[in-house]
Homo-oligomer: A and B are copies of this chain.
Amino acid sequence: MNQTDQMNQLDAEIIAIGSELLIGGRSDSNSLFLADELGKLGIAVRFKSVVGDERQDIVTAIHTAVTRTQVVIMTGGLGPTVDDCTREAVADATGQRLGRRKEALEGLTARLAQWGRQPSKGQLRQALIPSGATVLKNPVGSAPGFCLIWKKALIVSLPGVPREMEEMMRQEVLPLLRADCESAKRPPQAPIVRLLFHTFGLAEAEVDVKLKGLIPKGAPVDLGLLASPMGVLVSLTTKGNRSAPAKNHKLLQALTDELRVRLSDWLFAEGRDTMEEVVGRELTKRGLMLAVAESCTGGLIGHRLTQVAGSSAYVDRGAVCYSNRAKTEMLGVPMDLIAKQGAVSREVAAAMACGIRERAHVSVGLSVTGIAGPGGGTETKPVGLVYIGLDDGTGRPITEEHRFHGDRNVIKQRSSQAALDLLRRWLLGRPSGTGETCGKSATR
């Protein structure tokens, strides 16, 4: 691998292979992992290409990639079926011969033997490696990977399965790249640092206004905003090659301090932290047990809370009261209250929160009732009208009114986030309902 010494500043391209990927519709976790890990070495992912299972198209993608980046990470197309032709495409693209490699075959056979199986004809193809390439062991699955230098670029071919790709990057590829980056012949590259700040309750344009002028002119940091039903994600990313690590660190610290002040209570989490983790930690810290009563969210809040390992320490139960009868039977919401105020009302939200808290004998009850649509809306109670309730047994339940826009799924997502955010603010003892743009108002 000493040929990599010839390269200078390193940038990367990811080539994801698979006709299914070309069509999209699925979340791509591989890029997230690769951007993070390569970023630590100061290698920026500048391009990502997706191609189908057509051999010639993969060749084209490789030829394009090596002209514009020095590290090319290919994922996918290493399986045993005829569709899988990354091996052949790399051989074609680089003019190498494909041959069965002993160490690849041994790894493959050993793995299958562990599973009590013999390699099939298709699986034997997985031991074909372009000549001159280094075999990369797969510690998790059967398909070996490989890497080679061509036209001064390092071309790495890994399986597309996230768990296999990640382990092979960690155990085989990153050590190689690290050694190369640390070699004396290369100028040091500052790691690319990416800090995340999660907000809820502000529109993207409002966050934009709040952050105006945050980044000093010419500072080697990019500010990014990304809106979703879960809120607006703010990111600070250092420009790897154009900055010095020590200066970066100080700058990021100053920017983080300033961001926290500007985003104030709307900032609910940083980094990879999630709303449900934040809420779980605060409940644990205070030794509180939670119970949830959901109508329009249908179980989503319970699902999210229990995504956190160990959540049984603070989540006692949830009631999904889709029918009015269920609201009465499970939570004791009076039938006549529902008849008078409607199931979607501030009063019913309060009664639901109180009902679940009492029946579960816990410290806090959280509730949601609303109209997720597309049907069921009226002039006075339109689709997107959602009430949230929180009861802590003091006899003064908190309620919030929200008016969300979007389809059924978006309204459910936003409702669950608003409910957890109310709980978060309550846990932190902070006032609720200030500055919301979605028509929220709070009563106590």
Best-buried of A26, A47, A298, A375 by chain B (most CB within 10 Å): A298
Q: How far is the CA of A408 from the CA of B35 in the complex (A)?
A: 24
A318's partner among B22, B320, B409 (CB-CB below 8 A) is: B320
Contacts of A228 in B (CB 8 A): 26
Main secondary structure of the interface of A (DSSP, over half): mixed
A52 touches B57 (CB 8 A): no
Best-buried of A298, A299, A307, A360 by chain B (most CB within 10 Å): A299
A31 within 8 A of B: yes
A294 within 8 A of B: yes
Best-buried of A32, A48, A208 by chain B (most CB within 10 Å): A48
CB distance from A237 to the nearest CB of B (A): 7
What is the size, in residues, of chain A's interface with B at 8 Å between Cβ atoms? 80
Q: Which of A246-254, A325-333, A428-436 forms contacts with chain B?
A: A325-333
Contacts of A317 in B (CB 8 A): 319-323, 326, 330
Contacts of A297 in B (CB 8 A): 303, 306
Given contacts A25-B31, A373-B309, contact A302 B316 (CB under 8 A): no
Given contacts A25-B27, A312-B323, A326-B316, contact A303 B306 (CB under 8 A): no
Q: How far is the CA of A97 from the CA of B21 in the complex (A)?
A: 36
Given contacts A19-B224, A25-B29, A50-B48, contact A318 B299 (CB under 8 A): yes
Contacts of A52 in B (CB 8 A): 46
A49 within 8 A of B: yes
B46 touches A48 (CB 8 A): no
A316's partner among B48, B301, B305, B323 (CB-CB below 8 A) is: B323
Given contacts A32-B23, A299-B320, contact A49 B49 (CB under 8 A): yes
| Closest B residue, CB atoms, query A235 | B20
Given contacts A32-B25, A299-B303, contact A316 B309 (CB under 8 A): no
A24 within 8 A of B: yes
Q: Which of A60-68, A101-109, A180-188, A390-398 forms contacts with chain B?
A: A60-68
A374 within 8 A of B: yes
List 5 A-B pairs, Cβ < 8 Å. Answer: A19-B237, A53-B222, A297-B303, A309-B408, A317-B320
Q: How far is the CA of A26 from the CA of B30 in the complex (A)?
A: 11
A81's partner among B29, B208, B318, B374 (CB-CB below 8 A) is: B208
B28 touches A359 (CB 8 A): no
A339 within 8 A of B: no
CB distance from A433 to the nearest CB of B (A): 23
CB distance from A276 to the nearest CB of B (A): 11
